[in-house]
Structure 1
Amino acid sequence: MTTATDQPVAGPPRRSGRRREALGDHVARVVVALQEQVLRQPPRPEAVSTLARLRRGVGRTPGFDYTLATHLAVPDDLLGFRPADDAIPADTEYAVHDAITLFALHQQSRSERMHTNGQGLGQALARLARASTGPEGVRRRFAALGTASTYPESIYHLRGLVAMLREHQIPLDYGLIADDLRKLRKPERRPDIQAIWGREYFRSQPNENGTDQPATTNPEERSA
């Protein structure tokens, strides 16, 4: 017997008006390659093992496992500002590490693709609130993410939300997540990203006719 949480969410993911940046495109390529390998029939054993090790990295410092460098290393042309002290990871390294390890958590034990192009976090969480038997719990956790004052606190709330998305088979664009996380690392940019997620969420709510509102985005938001 199947339960409500075992049923796919009706309707296709709604695409975000935002475009991925070069870093997001890099992360999307890494994630798609992993996703295709683990969803093969039969799955590639090394891909399944890689996802398991990546899941153990959620919330940890970039560089925690040398054997994952193929997936978590940032190309030099995308690294951007690099701290003078090599003991301190760059913001870009955190963004790539956290996006890919969160994807590994999201894809765990799922036979569906949990990365999809174009679905921003706010849009995915609006679908989750509609699909969940406890939408207030989703809204409370999303509100906590929207008021998080530190990067580690944001990752903590994201981890819980991703687990809920996995339960309801709702995918994310992990390239967009990586772009957002890089900006979220900067305290002065954190409110901008939190606000973008909020607008995605509210613009994805059903309108008076019961259909989703388009999640359009102002041009200036695409470079936020």
Structure 2
Amino acid sequence: MTTAVEAEPAGPAQKTRHRRRRELGEHVARTIGRLQARVLSTVPQPEAVSALARLRRGIGRTPGFDFSLERYVQVPEHLLGRRPADDTEPTDAEQAAHDAVTLYALHQQSRRERMHADGRGLGQAMAELVRRSTGPDGVRRRFAALGTASTYHESIYHLRSLITMLREHQIPLDYGLLADDLQTLRIPGRRPTIQAIWGREFFRSRPSADADAPVTDNPEEDPS
């Protein structure tokens, strides 16, 4: 006689939680969404494809370097935020929006998939990159370098490298969220806050099952 074993009830399914974009992030997401739709239409629109190329040349540069890019990098007056003492300098919002849009242009280069996707934070994208990459340790090292970057410009330098890797593996990113993060990253004293958020996103996305494996000592290693 076979005894039926009653299965234990499954626990509640975990819902994927996404960070909410702030107002600047929503503006940037709408701008990129419109550009992305034009680039990825059945017949790509030449002006949009040309704009992507010009935007890529703007990575690491100051907002306003190319007057023809106004529709893609302009920040509405009510989102400009605190003006710098030297009003000829960009506000944090202007620089963050500029950097997010130009990095998106790098990400979308030569790709027919949507590289801007709502809800995909940077840490989540990096965890996916670790899973797909044939060199996950290298990805972790580069992401760790971003997490310890001591200046905004250094952060953009590392982001450019990481986004090139995301493009190679067709992994999208929410560029509205990135714009919000970059705006906060520029505020004195707030850099560790954003770096920690990226780290928690990375950990919670469980980038590799190897992280659960026990670490064993090498018996041949000289402890001295």
TM-score range, shorter chain: 0.7 to 0.9
What SS does the corresponding residue of 2:89 show, helix, strand or coil? coil
Task: Tell me the SS of whatever aligns to 2:156.
Answer: helix
Match of 2:63 in 1: 62
Q: Specify the alignment match of 1:122 in structure 2.
A: 123
**Distance change in 2, residues 1:16/1:182 (3 Å):** farther
**More RCO (CA 8 Å, sep 6+):** 1
Is 1:92 the counterpart of 2:105 in the alignment?
no
1:23 is aligned to 2:24: yes
State the number of aligned residues: 195
Larger mean CA deviation between 183-192 and 84-93 belongs to 84-93
- Gaps of at least 5 residues in structure 2 are 1-14, 210-224
| 1:219 alignment counterpart | none
How far is the alpha carbon of 1:15 from its aligned partner? Answer: 5.4
Q: Is the 8 A contact 1:15 1:120 kept in 2?
A: no
- In structure 2, the residue matched to 1:136 is 137
Distance, in Å, in 2 between the alignment partners of 1:85 and 1:207 is 46
* Separation in 2, partners of 1:91, 1:25: 16
Q: Secondary structure at the match of 1:117?
A: coil
Q: Could you list the structure 1 runs, at least 4 aligned residues long, displaced by more than 6 angstroms after superposition.
A: none
| Kept in 2: contact 1:28–1:175 (CA 8 A) | yes
Whether the 8 Å CA contact 2:18–2:120 is kept in 1: the answer is no
Match of 2:19, SS state, is coil
- Report the TM-score, using the length of structure 1 for normalisation: 0.84
Identify unmatched segments of 5+ residues in structure 1: 1-13, 209-224
Q: CA deviation at 1:206?
A: 5.9
Matches within 5 A, 1:42-57: 42-57=43-58
Q: 1:113 and 1:27 mapped to 2: Cα distance?
A: 15
RMSD of equivalent CA atoms = 1.4
Give the structure with higher Rg (CA): 2
Equivalent AA in structure 2 for residue 165 of structure 1: L
Deviation at 1:207, TM superposition (A): 8.3
Letter in 2 for 1:85: D
Structure 2 CA distance for aligned equivalents of residues 99 and 146 of structure 1: 18
Counterpart check, 1:204 vs 2:212: no
Alpha-carbon deviations, 1:78-106, whole Å to 9, x = none? 11111242321111111000000000000
Identity of aligned residues (%): 69
